[in-house]
Structure 1
């Protein structure tokens, strides 16, 4: 069996030895493995963001890549440990706690297996049940990526429909307004990434250069309202001005040119953060 890439994602951060231990376990399995980091800066316990970052990244990695994603507030409980196989023949090693939501929704999962820890657990990990990222997930992911075990040797099959999923909402629209959620932040730059697909703008006849009324609310409390231009790039707005744009996932984003929209207006993400984008008289 050929070797595959191993990609790690956690909410552990890099301030202690946790991620390094995962790398060490993987290299102990096979010193020639290529090991890469997706991110280790997922906010603590934020399963939704872990799920979204997998979706943001997975399509740009080769077929056969093995991802290990550990955002696991339920470590040590009865939640299952699984390896999912996607439609694109990639693998995700993770707790079954909702981390697979976006990949299942947007990429597709064709098979899932429960990790048999009698076989796929680090042999010298003792009685610890608080670091499955090292003892189960990094170990199993490395064995799978190295070709030491086949996918079938991970453990028994699990019905894909039984995988835990987080609630996901879709954007809704009429002839003159579209309403969606702020799903995630482009963290470093403070841009808002919505669940509104670019194709919705196309169906509504919205074109680059149009001025649109944008409202943002949290639990029905208005946080922001302004007229914003829809541009191709940040260069289509002046320094410090807001702009609507199409992000790297072909969805609508909101930004401030060389500023943080999220920090400027104290905006966060999740099901309670709604964004409405409405055509104005300026475009009629």
Structure 2
């Protein structure tokens, strides 16, 4: 009986310690559409440092295109899984600042926290990591002092402040504010599926440096078509359901597998199906964009 009781108590201690560690690893990662031309990002970091000088502050990106909630959602999904449990992400792409949209903290099933307006930014990370809990920020408590009359910089006054307090262990997750239903505002998009030998997916983002086109079609899903390197894939691109461009691109292991300027299909660094021109800009050449309204269909056209 004593052994059973000891094991039970030990389990409770372990769970409690793990929960505390999730909220207290002292790491805050910032994302915004502010750019670095002015002092906005520095102001957020100043607020966080004022909460605790022991925090470790990092940037995800501040080059999200202005008001582009979809790209904010994508960059979170691209980045969050590579950070340790307990990391707090402060994501501020907030075209509805000061309106009735909720300010929330999402705790994922993997122990990450995202402090953000609930405006669609959580669409992808909630789907990929799952929702452990969501709390609405109680601004009566979790708001920078003397900022109540400031309505247009919640990134500094609410999100950076709350994220820093959570990461530093000044507050627990429960002290963020009231618990909400495990639902987030979702941006509709084409989920990756295989239907009747045809892959369908979303054009999640462009590799902005090179113009490569990245989809949400995973290697595992692509493998259900059983392509081999050198096989030809027929690819059709759509914007709001309207066909924009169609091509045939060999499935390739490297860019150099095709002549310069020629198209290819490949797996990007996230192991998702993508399209490129060897030493060229695919997106610019064929007027392809990215976001929730862009989609793609892929079939196996011919074996090599």
TM-score normalised according to structure 1 size: 0.94
For 1:70 and 1:231, how far apart are their aligned partners in 2? 37
Q: Which runs of 5+ in 1 are unaligned?
A: none
Q: For residue 44 of structure 1, what is the aligned residue in structure 2?
A: 66
Q: For residue 235 of structure 1, what is the aligned residue in structure 2?
A: 256
Label 1:91 to 1:259 Cα distance change in 2 as closer, same or farther (>3 A).
same
Contact 1:192 1:261 (C-alpha < 8 Å) held by counterparts:
yes
Indicate the SS of the match to 1:270.
coil
Alignment of 1:1-284 (within 5 A): 2-161=24-183, 163-280=184-301, 282-283=302-303
For 1:171 and 1:126, how far apart are their aligned partners in 2? 43
Q: Deviations over 1:127-153 (max 9, x none)?
A: 011000000000000111111111111
Indicate the SS of the match to 1:54.
helix
For 1:53 and 1:142, how far apart are their aligned partners in 2? 21
Query: Which stretch of the first structure deviates more once superposed, 91-100 or 243-252?
Result: 243-252
Indicate the SS of the match to 1:235.
helix
For 2:292 and 2:246, how far apart are their aligned partners in 1? 19
Q: Which runs of 5+ in 2 are unaligned?
A: 1-19
Q: How far apart are residue 196 of structure 1 and its match?
A: 1.7
Greater C-alpha radius of gyration = 2
TM-score normalised according to structure 2 size: 0.88
Indicate the SS of the match to 1:63.
coil
Q: How far apart are residue 220 of structure 1 and its match?
A: 5.0
Q: How far apart are residue 205 of structure 1 and its match?
A: 1.3
Q: How far apart are residue 258 of structure 1 and its match?
A: 2.2
Larger % of helix: which?
Answer: 2
For 1:20 and 1:171, how far apart are their aligned partners in 2? 38
Contact 2:225 2:300 (C-alpha < 8 Å) held by counterparts:
no
For 2:99 and 2:195, how far apart are their aligned partners in 1? 44
What is the count of residue pairs matched by the alignment? 282
For 2:102 and 2:114, how far apart are their aligned partners in 1? 13
Label 1:220 to 1:64 Cα distance change in 2 as closer, same or farther (>3 A).
closer
